Amino acid sequence: MRHKSITFKLFVITSFFFILFISLTMLLQTVFIEDFYLKKKAEDFEANFKKFSTAYSELTASNTDSSELLTEFQNKNNASTAVLNLSGDTLRIFEDKKRMILKIVKKPGSDSTASPPIVDDIINFNLDSKIKMLVNGMQQWSSDPMAVSRVVDEGKVIIYNSGVKIDGQNNLVGISPIFIDREVSGIIIAAASLQPIGEAAAVIRQFYIYFYLIALVLIFALSLIYSKIITKPLVTLNKTALKMSELDFSAKCPYHSQDEIGSLSATLNFLSAKLDSSISELRVANEKLKEDIEKEKQLDIMRNDFIAGVSHELKTPISLISNYAEGIKDNITKGAKREYYVDIIIDEAKKMTSLVEDMLDLSQLESGSFKLKLENFPLIGLLNTVVERYTVNNKLAGKIFNLKTPPGSLEVKGDMFRIEQVLTNLIDNAIKYTQGEGIIKIVAENQGNTVFVQIENPGEPLPETELQNIWNKFYRVEKSRNKGLGGKGLGLSIVKDILDLHASEYGVTNTAHGIAFFFTLEKA
């Protein structure tokens, strides 16, 4: 057995505590058994005597026979009893159901009605040891004026160890008043011997030597068995854990008891299954991570495309602004031509401003700090305003709006300014990708607790891969830098972020006639 093993440690600890417990138990019993016996005997005698004296007084006051009560008390406590009538001169002693009447020798000049008589020389009669105990107790009590006063005058019960050995035995004496009509009419005395147990204690000490040797053998045997029972499943659990550390999850713990070992076994089996599942998931997640890394690479490509696009978008207007501004400065233009140069500078500056605003909007929306200004507003009124703006400003280039809405204002809850931005971006997108003349359909309708909005433009359907990526920032369906078609790649990303903040359901789909963008808003 290895000294560092848990079996050995458990064996030593268990044996030590059992030996310590038995040693202390035997020591306490052999050293204190006599004192404990005397104290317990005195306590029991005092409690029983007080209860007996109270009951005896009640029976005496009601002129009821007390023989049965006397016999029960004497048998239970191995005691003798006596009654002294204060108004008379006799001491009645009750022993083994026999009544002995002894004359009391009074102290000369004493008055029997004023104080109890003093028993004198009665111990010299030919009496047995129990009677002698009673008489001796009576003598001790009657010779102590304070003790007499406590019983006769104060009505107290007193218990004491006589301190006088009679026939080699100590004894306990109890003296209690007898009340009749709340007056002390007599005294009841009880004496019980204290049997010496010194010899018995010596025999017990000798017995404990043999008992201790046998107990040591049993302790060592049982401790060894106990330690084996406890540690065997722990060793098995440890082996299973070691296999798990080597990523071998095939081993299972066989213990299914309804205790801590069984619970630990079940936990280890559960952990093994979870680790097996988690490692499998990690493998899947690793594959997913590889895909994400690949997507990140694609995103870097799109970001580079975006930077290239922004650079291109900024390069042209900056060049134009610079060139036309120099022409104006050099006074090479006059009249209408000068106005034309100024208009070009203003137009290119507006394009640059629009690009910067889109970039700022996207940055703000994706920062997480942007807060919507939610309010209730009429969606149909907003749709009419946006459509009218395109019509008045002649931005349709021959295209026609077909706006279909239900009657009423159709109140919705949202940020009106941002929803207007969504509609503007989607309609701009629809106009941009509608070739030549065509009808752009805008539909708004009730759908329970939400309002459904769809903007459809005629055109070629988009590939499925494009439909999935179209919401990504920096992404452009049209890869050329054609100003007529390719945008900045930010509009739909801004739309997506705004609709996400509104908890909207949105998307894009190919239709029989073209492409449709849709989203929902919560009703007011």
Average pLDDT, the chain: 76
pLDDT tens column, 72-86:
888 888 888 888 777
What integer is the mean pLDDT of 231-238?
74
- Give dist(CA 469, CA 185) in Å, integer: 116
Cβ-contact 157, 49 below 8 angstroms: yes
Q: Which amino acid is at 218?
A: L
What pLDDT is stored for residue 105 in this prediction? 39
Q: Please return the burial class of 142, using the count of CB atoms within 10 Å of its CB with bins 0-12, 13-18 and 19+.
A: buried
**Looking at 195, 215, 231, which one is the last position of a domain?**
195
Does residue 174 lie in a domain region?
yes
In a domain, 113, yes or no: yes
| CB-side neighbour CA atoms (13 Å) of 301 | 8
- 230 is a domain residue: no
Phi, psi at 226, each rounded to 5° = -60, -45
Please say which residue of 147, 164, 195 terminates a domain: 195
Q: What is the CATH number of the domain that holds 381?
A: 3.30.565.10
Gap between the Cα atoms of 210 and 176, Å rounded? 48
* The one-letter amino acid at 444: A
d(CA 362, CA 345): 26
**Which helix H or strand E contains 415, and what residues bound it?**
none
Residue 522 in contact with residue 389, Cβ under 8 Å?
no
Question: What ranges in 246-335 are assigned the alpha helix state H?
Answer: 260-329
Is 262 in contact with 256 (CB distance < 8 Å)?
A: yes
Quick: pLDDT tens for 293-322.
887 887 677 667 667 666 766 776 777 778
User: Which strands make up the sheet holding 400-404, listed edge to edge?
Assistant: 400-404, 439-447, 450-458, 514-522, 506-510
Phi and psi, residue 256, nearest 5°: -130, 25
**CB neighbours of 107 closer than 8 A, spacing ≥ 6?**
117, 118, 120
For tokens 């109270």, the residue is: 54
Q: How confident is the model at residue 10 (pLDDT cuts 50, 70, 90)?
A: confident
- What's the DSSP call for residue 120? -
* Terminal-residue alpha carbon distance, the chain: 80
Query: How confident is the model over 268-285, as a mean pLDDT?
Result: 79
Residue, of 359 and 391, whose pLDDT is higher: 391
- Label residue 205 exposed, middle or buried (CB < 10 Å: 0-12, 13-18, 19+): middle
348 assigned to some structural domain: no
Judge whether 319 lies within some domain. no
d(CA 414, CA 466): 29
Residue 99 lies in a domain: yes
* Domain range enclosing 484: 371-522
Instruction: Single out the residue of 22, 24, 30 nearest to residue 204, CA to CA.
Output: 30
- pLDDT tops 90 at residue 272: no
Q: What pLDDT score was predicted for residue 241?
A: 76
Other residues' Cβ atoms within 10 Å of the Cβ of residue 281: 11
Query: Is residue 31 one of the residues assigned to a domain?
Result: no
Minimal CA–CA distance to 140: which of 160, 111, 166? 160
Q: What is the pLDDT of residue 450?
A: 93
Positive or negative: CA dihedral 265, 266, 269, 270: negative
Q: Which long-range contacts (CB under 8 A, 24 or more apart) does 261-265 make?
A: 261/233, 261/234, 261/237, 264/237, 265/233, 265/237
Judge whether residue 108 has pLDDT over 70: no
Helices (H), ranges, 113-248: 129-142, 145-152, 198-245
CA 287 to chain centre: 38
Which pLDDT score is estimated for 375? 92
Contact 106, 119 (CB under 8 A): no
Do 383 and 412 meet the contact criterion of CB atoms below 8 Å apart?
no
Q: Which tokens in the block code for residue 7?
A: 């079996």
pLDDT at 473: 67
CA distances from 244 to 241, 251, 252, 285, 513 (A): 5, 8, 10, 21, 60
Answer yes or no: is pLDDT of 176 > 80. yes
Distance CA 20, CA 318 (A): 97
| Residue 333 backbone dihedrals phi, psi, to 5 degrees | -120, 150
Q: How confident is the model at residue 107 (pLDDT cuts 50, 70, 90)?
A: very low
| Mean pLDDT, residues 24-49 taken together | 78
Region of 412 on the Ramachandran plot (φ > 0 left; ψ -120 to 50 alpha; else beta): beta
Phi and psi at residue 235, in whole multiples of 5°? Answer: -65, -40
Number of folded domains that form the chain: 2
Whether 390 is in a domain gets the answer yes
Residue 125 has pLDDT above 80, yes or no: no
Q: How confident is the model at residue 369 (pLDDT cuts 50, 70, 90)?
A: low
Asked whether the predicted pLDDT for residue 184 surpasses 70, the reply is yes
Predicted confidence (pLDDT) per residue in 466-511, tens digit: 887 788 765 666 554 444 455 556 778 888 888 888 899 999 999 8
User: Collapsing DSSP states into helix, strand and coil, what is residue 225?
Assistant: helix
Q: Which residues contact 32 (CB under 8 A, 6 or more apart)?
A: none
pLDDT at 114 over 50: no
What would the two tokens of residue 214 be? 């046998």
What's the CATH number where 118 sits? 3.30.450
Positive/negative CA dihedral, 418, 422, 427, 428: positive
Question: Whole-angstrom Cα distance, residue 210 to residue 512?
Answer: 105
For residue 201, with 0-12 CB atoms within 10 Å meaning exposed, 13-18 middle and 19 or more buried, which class applies?
middle
Domain boundary among 195, 218, 250: 195
Give CA–CA dist 379/507, Å, rounded: 19
pLDDT at residue 253 above 90? no
Measured at the alpha carbon of residue 46, what is the angle toward residues 41 and 52, in degrees to the nearest 5?
120
Joined together, the tokens standing for residue 47 give 């409690």
